[in-house]
Structure formats: structure tokens, C-alpha cells
Chains A and B, each alone.
Chain A
Amino acid sequence: GAGVSQSPRYKVAKRGQDVALRCDPISGHVSLFWYQQALGQGPEFLTYFQNEAQLDKSGLPSDRFFAERPEGSVSTLKIQRTQQEDSAVYLCASSSGTMGYEQYFGPGTRLTVT
């Protein structure tokens, strides 16, 4: 079946631009997670949705980062006024349960801010 998909796969933004990253989770998956992964590091948690509710956004690094999942399926991570330190791979994962369940990752969006 279809896995988690993300778009775009690659994004180059000039510093100061806004970007929007999209995630399509596995159909029917209740939970959706966003992670940021820097080179040589493990994924770092950004935010968590259960259906359309954003239950945890403690990992968002600044108020320039905003995520939404208005209908409980597709999610968008928006970064305003991008900075060079925002360059990373942004991974989306979904899970069939609410907590403690296996997460399945999308291919990620590689963001480069120049």
C-alpha cells in the first residue's frame, strides 16, 4: 500500500523566504509527527498531531515554525523567514495509534537555505 509521502523532496530557499512542506500520511493513520534531521544526527522531534489536534509543539525551534493538519490527514509545516540554520531534512512520520505505536517515515524534504 501507499506509504507516507512528502513534497517537495528538495527545496532551495533564499534566506528570508517562507517555505511550506507537505506531508501525506498513510491513510487512516491517526498520529502524525514532524522531525528535523541534521547531518550525522538522529531525527529531532518538532511537533505531533492526533487527528487534527496539535497536541505537542514543544520541539518547534522558534515561532517562525508553524504546522497544521486541518482535516486530520494532510499536514503542512511552514517556516517563515528562513535562516541558514534551518537547513536540514524535514521528516514526517505517521502512526496508526495514539502513543507507543510504530512510526513510519516519509522520504523527507531536504531544505537548503542559501
Chain B
Amino acid sequence: RKEVEQDPGPFNVPEGATVAFNCTYSNSASQSFFWYRQDCRKEPKLLMSVYSSGNEDGRFTAQLNRASQYISLLIRDSKLSDSATYLCAHYNNNDMRFGAGTRLTVKP
């Protein structure tokens, strides 16, 4: 089983839709979790940190479920500019482990 697993998608949604991604992790001792956004041929950019039970930033909400070992990202009122690949990540001792990413395309 991979350290971090994500549904690769692609998710194709219309503008204004709500979309949710899940990410499961195998290291139950992990304390720090993150969502990154990566545009085509660009570097990952930090979207949100998830340090406790969850947090919200505008249209984006991240949740952490320690019992089931997954984190989720909810995007409300999606925009065309939200089209990207979304990577979840968590710390495993010294290094960060990433999922393969979920691709989102928002269509007009």
C-alpha cells in the first residue's frame, strides 16, 4: 500500500459546483498534513495546512479524520481558475510524502 493515496481523477465539474477530494495515509503517527496545488509544468504551491481537526480558507475547507486516516479538501463555488492538480501531503519523520495528485478541471 502506498504511503499516501489519492483518487487520480480527473474530476470534471461545471463552474459553481462543489467538489471534494479525499486522501488516505498509512502512517498513523503523522502530525502535519497539507494540501498543495500544482498547475501544469509548475511547482507545487501550498494551498492549506491541516493541523488539527480541520480549517477553512474562503471557498476551501480541509478536514482531518485521524480515526480513519484520511484528509479531505472541499472546494465550494468552483472557478475556472481552480483547474489544477491537487496534492495531499504529510510528514513521515523528516520528509514529506505526497500523493500522486487529483486532477480537477472546472468547465464553463
User: Which residues from A are CB-within-8-Å of B100?
Assistant: 40-42
Verify B95–A102 contact, CB threshold 8 A.
no
- In the complex, the chain B residue whose C-beta lies closest to that of A98 is B94
A42 touches B91 (CB 8 A): no
Chain B residues within an 8 Å CB radius of A55: 94
Within 8 A of B (CB), among A53-94: 55-56, 58-59, 91, 93
User: Could you tell me if B94 and A56 are in contact, using CB atoms closer than 8 angstroms?
Assistant: yes
Q: How far is the CA of A93 from the CA of B97 in the complex (A)?
A: 13
Q: Within the complex, which residue of A43, A44, A48 is in contact with B44, where a contact is CB–CB below 8 Å?
A: A43
Q: Contact residues of B with A, CB < 8 Å?
A: 4, 31-32, 34, 42-46, 49, 87, 89, 91, 93-101
B interface, over-half SS: strand
What are the 9 A-B residue pairs with the smallest beta carbon separation, nearest first? Answer: A42-B98, A100-B32, A105-B43, A45-B95, A56-B94, A42-B100, A48-B94, A43-B98, A105-B44
In the complex, the answer to whether B95 meets A107 with C-beta atoms within 8 Å is: no
The minimal Cβ–Cβ distance linking B59 to chain A, given in whole angstroms, is 20
A77 to chain B, nearest CB (A): 15
Considering the chains assembled together, what is the distance between the CA atoms of A64 and B85 in angstroms?
31
In angstroms, Cα B4 to Cα A108, docked, is: 22
B87 touches A91 (CB 8 A): no
- C-alpha gap A59/B97 in the complex (Å): 11
Using Cβ atoms and an 8 Å threshold, which residues of chain A touch B89? 42
Cβ contacts under 8 Å, A104 to chain B: 46
9 A-B interface contacts by CB (under 8 A): A33-B95, A33-B96, A42-B89, A42-B99, A43-B44, A43-B87, A59-B95, A103-B96, A107-B43
